[in-house]
Structures are given as structure tokens and as C-alpha cells.
Amino acid sequence: MRRRDLIAGTVAVAAAAPSVALASENESPTDAAPLAVAGVGLPIIAGGRVRNYIFVTLRLHLGRGQTAERVRTKEPYLRDALTRAAYRTPFTVADDWNVIDVAALSASLMRSATTLVGRGAVTRVEVFSQVPRHRTRTPAG
């Protein structure tokens, strides 16, 4: 492919992007699609040792008047805050090392979102999928 054709295609896509943004501004703010946060690896810690990792895909439901672009710029900070919180106070379910405590994860991420993005920016956190690195057995006892 010629370089000139590649650049022309990139410019055409960039020129079309503002029209898509304008179309989404005409919709009501409550109809905004949730923002997907993919592939956060969180540890399962039991007895002071990392027993497993769970890769979590999240959906952040945005509050009234929030745009996905504004929250997306803060996504790396939200991912970092979530990972740090998972090491500080693990989201471990006592009898299963293959899943995460969804309520604790949601509460932690909501607190971080209030600090990083602003109050009311994220209304709900939905855990879309949980994939363990290893299928491990929890020892009886």
C-alpha cells in the first residue's frame, strides 16, 4: 500500500470522528453506553501468599452528564487504584480461590472513582467476566 493512501485514509477517519461525537451529544445522557475496562489482573491472597490471579473485565455505568471520553482518560488511574486496593485488602472469597468478591471490588472502585473522576461520575460497577489464571482447589479446613 502506498504511504499517501494510508495517510489519506487516516485523515478521512479523523475527520469523521467529530460527527460521531456530535451525534452522541444529541442523545440523553442516561442512554450512554457503559464504559468497558478490560483485563485487570487481581490477586487472590490467602495466608499471606498469592494463590491465584483473576483477570476481570468491568463495565462502568456513567452518571448523568458524564461522557465516556472524560472517564476514559482516567481509566489507567482507576485500574491502578483497583490493583493497589486488591493487594492492600484482597477481594478474596474465603471458600473459593477462583472468583473475586464482587461487592468488595465494586465498593472499592466506586470510592476510587469518586476521588479520581468526581462524585456521581460512575453510578455502578458491573463485573462482566472473571477468568482465573489457574483453576485451583481451596484446601479444606
20, part of any domain: no
- In-domain check, residue 104: yes
Residue 13 lies in a domain: no
Q: Is residue 95 part of a domain?
A: yes
Contact 101, 82 (CB under 8 A): no
Give the range of the structural domain holding residue 64, as residue numbers without chain letter.
Answer: 30-132
* 37 and 78 Cβ atoms separated by less than 8 Å: yes
Residue 2 pLDDT level (bands cut at 50, 70, 90): low
DSSP string, 22-70: HHHHTS-GGGPPPEEEEEEEEEEEETTEEEEEEEEEEEEEE-TT--HHH
CA distance 42 to 85: 9
Q: Is 99 inside a domain boundary?
A: yes
Least confident piece of the model among 52-56, 89-93, 118-122, 133-137 = 133-137
How many domains would you assign to the chain?
1
**Mean pLDDT along residues 104-116:** 92
Mean pLDDT of the chain: 79
Q: Residue 138: its pLDDT value, please? A: 67
SS3 90: coil
Beta carbons of 113 and 122 less than 8 angstroms apart: yes
For residue 102, the surrounding DSSP H or E stretch is helix 102-116
Q: pLDDT: is 96 or 139 the higher one?
A: 96
For position 63, which CATH number holds? 3.30.1130
Please check whether residue 23 lies inside any domain of the structure: no
